[in-house]
Copies of this chain bind each other. A is one copy, B any other.
Amino acid sequence: MTAIRAYAAQSPSSGVAPFSLVRRQPRADDVVIEIDYCGICHTDIHFVHNDWGMTQYPVVPGHEIVGRVSAVGSGVRRFAVGDRVGVGCLVDSCRACASCNDGLEQYCERGWVATYNGIDREDGSPTYGGYSERIVVSERFVLRMPDALDPAAAAPLLCAGITTYSPLRHFGVANGHRVAVVGMGGLGHMGVKFARALGADVTLFTRSSDKREEALRCGAHDVVVSSDPAQMQAAAARFDFILDTVPVAHDLNPYVNALKRDGTLILVGMLAPTDPPLHTLPLVFARRRIAGSLIGGLPETQQMLDFCAEHGIVCDIERLDIRNINEAYVRMQRGDVRYRFVIDMATLRGV
């Protein structure tokens, strides 16, 4: 065990700063990964600031990790030194419950182990994320990164990508469906790309019209400005599926009304406890549904990466020197990023 470089937050107001970290020696089923890129998810900021009251400091954020295998444990079969690999939001789960057996580790009935701010099931140590040189992860929770994908732009696929891909596939989005995406951020722009690639007629709901060109470039056929009552009225009963990526409490009712009969509103962004007032009559009168969906399981995440390679899909990113990360957090909090910051981990070597 040798100390490696990382960035960590030490308190809710400290920001993230250089930190010295020890990674475990590989167990039999472990893959050791030298990290090349790590995307920044809004969740990272919430954990750094302890917004959800569950942060254990120091916390090393980062769960959109791409790197190369530098060593493998004796029992590892699927990976070899030199492979390009990825790690997402999960690094372990119980591996025995019905959800784990279904490859839906994100719904593990005993609780999955998060890539950071989690507790290792074997030795009880805290898990540390991707703002670091290296990570050691059990083989089952490591993804193959297709060569066709730019590794930096592929990093956010491991959270923003799978979070939008999984529900679109699970709920059956297919050729000819009318699909809307609410919000044009890290998740939203991926939702637009995936829905388009699945053959849907795609609309973006956005609060202001200045996202229009970007949305069309990402594959949307249409844009509805949700702050315009006339446009919302015209969108009534129009969509088979609406993927709502907005990460803060908001009124769901206008989107329920925009669903056709048997349409489904899928919530993926709502990661803070909220109580939006919900009108239930519009559900009853058109047999509409509201559903939630959480990231994705390991098999589906691999499927998503392969789908991206096949369809030439990656995230739109801005590369970041890790020394500018606190500035990047500030920009993210005012929505000033198109659409994901990705830390170039080579910049950590100079710190």
Contacts and interface: CB of A to CB of B under 8 A. Distances in A.
Interface string A97-116: 01100001001010000000
Contacts of A4: none
B287 A170 contact: yes
Interface string A260-293: 0100100110110111111111111111111111
Chain copies in the assembly?
A: 2
Interface in A219-278: 237, 261, 264, 267-268, 270-271, 273-278
A348 interface: no
A270 B267 CA distance: 22
A294 interface: yes
A307 B145 CA distance: 53
A280 to B, nearest CB: 4
Interface residues of A, number: 36
Given A273-B281, A278-B275, A261 B107 contact: yes
Given A275-B277, A280-B270, A280-B276, A285 B292 contact: yes
Interface of A: 98-99, 104, 107, 109, 167, 170, 237, 261, 264, 267-268, 270-271, 273-294
Given A107-B286, A276-B277, A290-B290, 18 more contacts: A109-B237, A264-B289, A267-B284, A270-B280, A270-B284, A271-B281, A273-B279, A274-B279, A274-B281, A277-B277, A277-B278, A281-B292, A282-B292, A284-B292, A284-B293, A284-B294, A285-B294, A288-B292
Q: Which 4 A-B pairs have the closest CB atoms?
A: A283-B292, A284-B292, A275-B277, A289-B291
